[in-house]
Chain A
């Protein structure tokens, strides 16, 4: 799993690339903790996530809380279909802002 961070205007975009499962979750969580800015909007680009397990969902939950605690808005972009279905079934989608593309996500967070 590779992580890349770049700015789109005021929005920090973090792109995840690879499998997010129990093998990678701990490291991804640590990396995200360091990359998620305090108090500024952040967009997680999941378009290149090939697989997401429940451990991956738990990582998203912790990142979500970290962002919330620092007052940052957080959104997900381009959630892979499989992951989307799991997230819908487990009630995740109710509390994340989800957009189809990075551009839409940036627009939503900049609004």
Chain B
């Protein structure tokens, strides 16, 4: 066969398409690629495993036609791989032959190459027909991603965790899949379009293979975020405009079906379908004779609900509480104004909603059980017990060598031996907070031992630079200890991400509020020096998101897409994760100044005019970065709420009108865009702008609701209501707290669920079953209990609150213990009485909220009784 020269004038001139080859290839397919890509100007190279030969000749599947290959796939180094625009795994038996490995414990070289290609988003991956066989030993690369394949492989790709999609061509970010060799023309066309559309490349750094443990509910990301770059969801013309060609292609040919998907229709307009759903509403009318309840949802939609003969009803219950049936009291309970949740069925031939399960939030209208004084305290106690039992057993000694980041749904440990710094830190945060609310010393014991373990095992003291930083974690497989120096999460691999360093401080800082331990303070200050000296952008303000582990530079080329970048976390997450708590403990002006700079930058750079949601990713000069990995031009709803919440906290430290205005603006606009106003609860990741013809912002991955985003909503609206007295904010706070308490508490196993479906049903698949991992580990759930107790009692309900502290002998500068429960408006709270070691104590400042501690050789137990002071705000 003569050489087929690429056409210089084609739109793919200068581009390279690599195609893997082996015996039993499909001749027409391969010949088509040779010509079609050349026609567009692309250079096509064929690669195979050469087994030490200079070249190998393979025979085709149908006609035994010979084809000689001299490209060695084992010789493709990083540079060459990065230069490939698309890597194709073709039809036939090619992938099966290439996945042969003589070492049963090792990946075949071609699989290794494919895996490396998946780590580089700029390399488009094309897999057609039976090609997915090659990826079967590395299912992580397709887990959660939309794919198609030969009908014979549907079970295989589903077992690999991919989302099989019944189409001839499927595009999922940087992965293009096609059904059979008979779709090679559509496949080639899609690849050509995508390669041509991809912008001029930025220098891309090749990530090593994605590790087995993927980031689980990263606050910035989501569990199943595909690692692809932005690409059209499907190329319409290729996917649906093609005739259904049905000739069998390669092995065991079976007919392909036309891949056009059914038109999306809304649940309620879907003809002939019974839809199960949840309605959150307020009773407007109840007619006992017809058993009809009329409800109005948060956004004013009326729902006629019929109580069926099989309806059950219950009251909201806290963790640790039994189920209390309410079925016998329906006539008394269904009074106008009362909020409730109704699970039921919509039938296509009926305009009423058939109720099956009702959840009441309190015994009387406008009574919410989660506003009872002990609700959150009992909840944090149950959370503390769950994690204590899961990690160390009940009652026995606490040994952090037994700590594991991965906990299964019931708290059992999996066969997984990683201890991540940030999950231990989060557990320390939760346990410290649980101690502050309950005074249970077992929780404090866990917190102190966790902080010590972090110090002994996870800390790197850099004596040359006089800074402290924290390992990603350690692997304790087989009783050994292997330090994981840089991040193992795919977003951040081989870098030191600001996010992990910030969260390494979360637990120790909360514990420092309680004990004043100078060793903790020294580590916090050392880590702050790391931030100031290496992450900070002196010129333009803010902090970079990643630094290189060797040079500690944010501008090093190995950082790839994380090079010279800033994001919400690196700039703003200091405040909620540790900085407010540090300031509460120290009262230090330096910490207040860092907070002020943080919020000034947030107000200046994050709000965009193009979207109701803030912009979260930036280049060094603060221009928006719309290209980053999964984030693109997307918003995390909880980050918007988190900003509103923390701006209001800042109003108590160094108030500025612009802080209040932005918080108020977010608080007023977010429900329409980010919440589910007919079922309750808050969504996850959303497109920041509307697409053509859309009137609603599209949800990026799913319409599930994550526990931590509910927390952000509850706290944001509680503090907004507490500051302003605005009834609308109070209503939002209650609706969010109602949804969270009704659907996130795991009454069977303990702890809280990670995600629920839109209708409140727990979503228990994959990593979202887990209870100990990244950010689940008693961080947000405990933070919610602690702060909801503070805001509800002291700001909203005019009730007192007692907090516990345990200052260590050398703790706290000048022996001053600061007991402010949070950054609350000055004058709203006073310190009523103090007990030290069980005796009344008088050396305290009731308005400054400080206690002058007595000298002591041993730790002191301090109880601080705080009460609302001054006039509550006018209601508005």
Contacts and interface: CB of A to CB of B under 8 A. Distances in A.
Interface of A: 21-22, 25-26, 29, 53-55, 58-59, 61-62, 64-65, 68-69, 86, 89-91, 94-95
A59 B552 CA distance: 12
Interface in B441-481: 456-457, 460-465, 480-481
B558 to A, nearest CB: 9
B481 A95 contact: yes
Contacts of A55: 464, 550-552
A26 B482 contact: no
Contacts of B208: 69
B485 interface: yes
A68 B208 CA distance: 14
Nearest to B209: A69
Interface string B28-53: 00000000000000000000000000
Contacts of B460: 54, 90
A29 B550 contact: yes
| Shortest beta-carbon contacts, A-B, top 3 | A54-B462, A61-B485, A54-B464
A56 to B, nearest CB: 9
Given A55-B550, A58-B549, A58-B550, A22 B464 contact: yes
13 contacts: A21-B464, A22-B551, A25-B551, A26-B550, A54-B464, A55-B464, A55-B550, A55-B551, A58-B549, A61-B485, A61-B549, A62-B549, A62-B550
Nearest to B211: A69
Contact of A26 (B457, B464, B486, B551): B551
B528 interface: no
A52 B402 CA distance: 34
Given A26-B550, A26-B551, A65 B462 contact: no
A65 B475 CA distance: 11
B865 interface: no
B815 interface: no
Contact of B482 (A22, A68, A89, A90): A68
A36 to B, nearest CB: 14
A64 B549 CA distance: 14
Given A26-B550, A62-B485, A65-B484, 18 more contacts: A21-B464, A22-B464, A53-B464, A54-B462, A55-B550, A55-B551, A55-B552, A58-B549, A61-B483, A62-B549, A65-B485, A90-B460, A90-B461, A91-B456, A91-B457, A94-B481, A95-B480, A95-B481
Contacts of A59: 550
Contacts of A25: 550-551
Name which of A25, A89, A94 has the most chain B CB atoms within 10 A of its CB: A94
Contacts of A21: 464
A51 B502 CA distance: 31
A53 B463 CA distance: 8
A26 B557 CA distance: 12
Contacts of A95: 480-483
A55 B552 CA distance: 9
Interface in B165-191: none
Contacts of A91: 456-457, 483
Contacts of B463: 54, 86
Nearest to B551: A26
A97 to B, nearest CB: 11
Contacts of A86: 463
A86 B460 CA distance: 11
Interface in B191-211: 208
A88 to B, nearest CB: 12
Given A22-B551, A59-B550, A62-B549, A89 B461 contact: yes
Name which of A22, A61, A90 has the most chain B CB atoms within 10 A of its CB: A61
Contacts of A94: 481
Interface in B482-496: 482-486
A64 B551 CA distance: 17
Contacts of A62: 485-486, 549-550
A68 B488 CA distance: 14
A84 B456 CA distance: 18
A92 B480 CA distance: 13
Contacts of B465: 54
B461 to A, nearest CB: 6
Interface string B585-604: 00000000000000000000
Contacts of B551: 22, 25-26, 55
Name which of B208, B460, B465 has the most chain A CB atoms within 10 A of its CB: B460
A61 B484 CA distance: 8
A29 B552 CA distance: 14
Contacts of A69: 208
Nearest to B485: A61
Contacts of A29: 550
B74 to A, nearest CB: 12
A16 B478 CA distance: 31
Name which of B461, B482, B550 has the most chain A CB atoms within 10 A of its CB: B550
A61 B461 CA distance: 14
B394 to A, nearest CB: 31
A18 B261 CA distance: 65
Nearest to B457: A91
Nearest to B484: A65
A26 B548 CA distance: 10
Nearest to A65: B485
A58 B485 contact: yes
A44 B549 CA distance: 20
Contacts of B486: 62, 65
Interface string B545-562: 000011110000000000
Contacts of B481: 94-95
A81 to B, nearest CB: 15
A69 to B, nearest CB: 8
Nearest to B105: A71
Contacts of A26: 550-551
Name which of A58, A65, A86, A90 has the most chain B CB atoms within 10 A of its CB: A58
Nearest to A94: B481
B467 to A, nearest CB: 9
A59 B549 CA distance: 9
A72 to B, nearest CB: 13
B547 to A, nearest CB: 11
A68 B481 CA distance: 12
Contacts of B461: 89-90
Interface string B202-232: 0000001000000000000000000000000
A5 B550 CA distance: 22
A86 B463 CA distance: 9
A90 B480 CA distance: 17
Name which of A21, A29, A53, A65 has the most chain B CB atoms within 10 A of its CB: A65
A62 B484 CA distance: 9
A88 B461 CA distance: 12
Contacts of A64: 483
Nearest to B467: A54
A22 B462 CA distance: 12
Contacts of B485: 58, 61-62, 65
Contacts of B549: 58, 61-62
Nearest to A59: B550
B401 to A, nearest CB: 13
A71 B631 CA distance: 34
Contacts of B464: 21-22, 53-55
A55 B484 CA distance: 16
B533 to A, nearest CB: 13
Interface in B262-288: none
Contacts of A65: 484-486
Contacts of A61: 483, 485, 549
Interface in B311-326: none
A23 B462 CA distance: 16
A13 B525 CA distance: 40
A65 B211 CA distance: 13
Nearest to A60: B485
Nearest to A53: B464
A24 to B, nearest CB: 10
Nearest to A55: B550
